[in-house]
């Protein structure tokens, strides 16, 4: 973005910077950090695990206040339509770029667990354009557009950490809770099933 200088830093430095933030006001301070930094790609190499089947979730750091993940995407891979339910979520790119689609939920019925989804916007996330998930419209889908033909690695900051998220199935108009799992933690691959 013109007129804005972004500081390049290694992922470990980002962790340290975030760790220093006070619990009070964390959300505002973290947003400034994320939008003012570019990640050094070399520093992310320990967390690069690509799978041909699905994008992978790789844990970089976790404490009670926040969780930092590297997500690795082959071209054409996409997430489900999901929701972070009150969680704050920011994304910055380490490699390549991603496309984010936002949805609005209508006619949500908590008893029958049905709803209707309507797409509201398409945003491209690039190395110099980080993204905050809109707390008013937190339902989204992320994908690495196949036609771009390059791998992508995105770093996601969540506060506070959750181990489930809500996944929407627009076909049937239903949503359900899904357990999240890591592909690797702290640079070491996890045993299958965890």
Partner 1 sequence: MVAPDAAAASLAAYRAAAAQDPRFAPHALDALERGPALGEGGMGQVVVAKDRRLGREAALKVIQPDLVDPTVIRRFEREAEVMARLEHPAIPPLYEAGTDARGQRYLLMRKVAGEPLSLVLRRLRAPAGVRAARMPDVLDALARVAEAVAYAHGVGIIHRDLKPQNVMLGRWGEAMVLDWGLARRHDEDAPTQDPGLTREGETIGTPGYMPPEQARGNPVGPPADVFALGAILCEVLTGHLPVEGATAVNRLLATIDGRIARPRDLRRDTPPELDSLAAAALALDPAARPTAAAFAADLRAFLRGEPLAAHHYGRRERLVRSARRRAGALLLALAVTALVGGAAAVTLRARGAQAAAEEGARLAAEARDALQRAMDLLAEADVLVARGAPARDVLGRVDAALAEGRTRFVLWAAAGVCLRTEQADRARDLLVESVDRFPPGLRELGLLHRLASSGLAGADTTVWLERLLAARAAGVRDALTCYAVGVDAGVRGDWRAAERAAGEALELDPRLAWAWELRAGARLHLGDPDGAEADATRALELEPWLPSAWQNRATARLRLGRVEGAVADLDRVIGLAPTRPEAFTSRGNAYVHLNDPTRALQDYDRALNLAPGHPGAWKGRGVALARLERRDEALEAFTRAIEADPDDADAWRNRAVLRDRLGDPAGAREDLDRTLALRPDDAAALELRGVARAVAGDLAGAEADWTRALEIDRSRANCWSNRGHARLLRGDPRAALADCDRAVALAPDSPDARYNRAQARLALEDLPGARADLERFVEVAPTHPKAANARAQLERLRMSR
Output b/e per residue, 133-156; b: 16+ Cβ within 10 A.
beeeebbbbbbbbeeeeeebbbbb
Question: Least distance to partner 1 from the beta carbon of 116, Å?
Answer: 5
Residue nearer to partner 1 on the CB measure, 54 or 108: 108
The span from the CA of 52 to the CA of 100, in Å, is 21
Residue 187 host element (H or E): none
- Binding of partner 1 by 45 (CB under 8 A): no
CB of 129 to partner 1, least distance (A): 17
Segment near partner 1 (CB under 8 A), from 15-23, 41-49, 56-64, 114-122? 114-122
| Planar angle of CA 16, 17, 19, nearest 5 degrees | 65
Q: What letter would DSSP give residue 110?
A: T
Which structure tokens are listed for 121? Answer: 């916007």
Position 75 contacts partner 1 (CB under 8 A): no
* Minimal distance, residue 119 CB to partner 1, in Å: 5
User: In the bound complex, what is the minimum distance in angstroms from residue 52's beta carbon to partner 1?
Assistant: 15
* For residue 160, cis peptide bond before it (omega within 30 degrees of 0): yes
The stretch near partner 1 (CB under 8 A) out of 17-25, 34-42, 115-123, 152-160 is 115-123
Please pick, from the candidates 16, 42, 54, 108, the single residue that binds partner 1 as defined by CB under 8 A: 108
User: Around 120, how many Cα atoms within 13 Å sit in the side-chain half-sphere?
Assistant: 14
Q: Contact with partner 1 (CB under 8 A): which of 23, 110, 191, 194?
A: 110
Beta carbons within 8 Å of 184's beta carbon, 6+ residues apart? 47, 49, 56, 58, 59, 190
Please pick, from the candidates 24, 64, 107, 163, the single residue that binds partner 1 as defined by CB under 8 A: 107
| Measured CA angle at 98 (ends 93, 100), to 5 deg | 115
Q: Given candidates 145, 167, 174, 190, which one binds partner 1 under the rule CB under 8 A? A: 145
23 binds partner 1 (CB under 8 A): no
**Residues interacting with partner 1, by CB under 8 A?**
78, 80-81, 85, 101-102, 104, 106-111, 116, 118-122, 141, 143, 145, 147, 170-171
């Amino acid at each position: 973005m013109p007129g804005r200088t972004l500081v390049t830093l290694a992922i470990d430095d980002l962790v340290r910077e975030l760790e220093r933030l006070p619990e009070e006001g964390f959300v505002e301070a973290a947003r400034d950090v994320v939008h003012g930094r570019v990640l050094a790609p070399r520093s992310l190499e320990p967390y690069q695990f690509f799978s041909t089947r699905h994008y992978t979730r790789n844990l970089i750091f976790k404490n009670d206040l926040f969780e930092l993940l590297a997500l690795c995407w082959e071209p054409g891979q996409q997430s489900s339509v999901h929701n972070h339910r009150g969680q704050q979520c920011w994304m910055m790119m380490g490699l390549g770029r991603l496309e984010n689609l936002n949805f609005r939920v209508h006619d949500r019925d908590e008893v029958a667990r049905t709803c209707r989804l309507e797409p509201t916007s398409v945003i491209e996330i690039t190395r110099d354009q980080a993204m905050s998930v809109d707390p008013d419209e937190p339902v989204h889908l992320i994908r690495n557009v196949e036609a771009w033909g390059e791998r992508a690695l995105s770093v996601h900051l969540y506060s506070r950490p959750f181990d489930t998220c809500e996944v929407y199935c627009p076909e049937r108009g239903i949503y359900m809770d899904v357990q999240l799992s890591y592909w690797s933690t702290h640079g070491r691959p996890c045993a299958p099933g965890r």
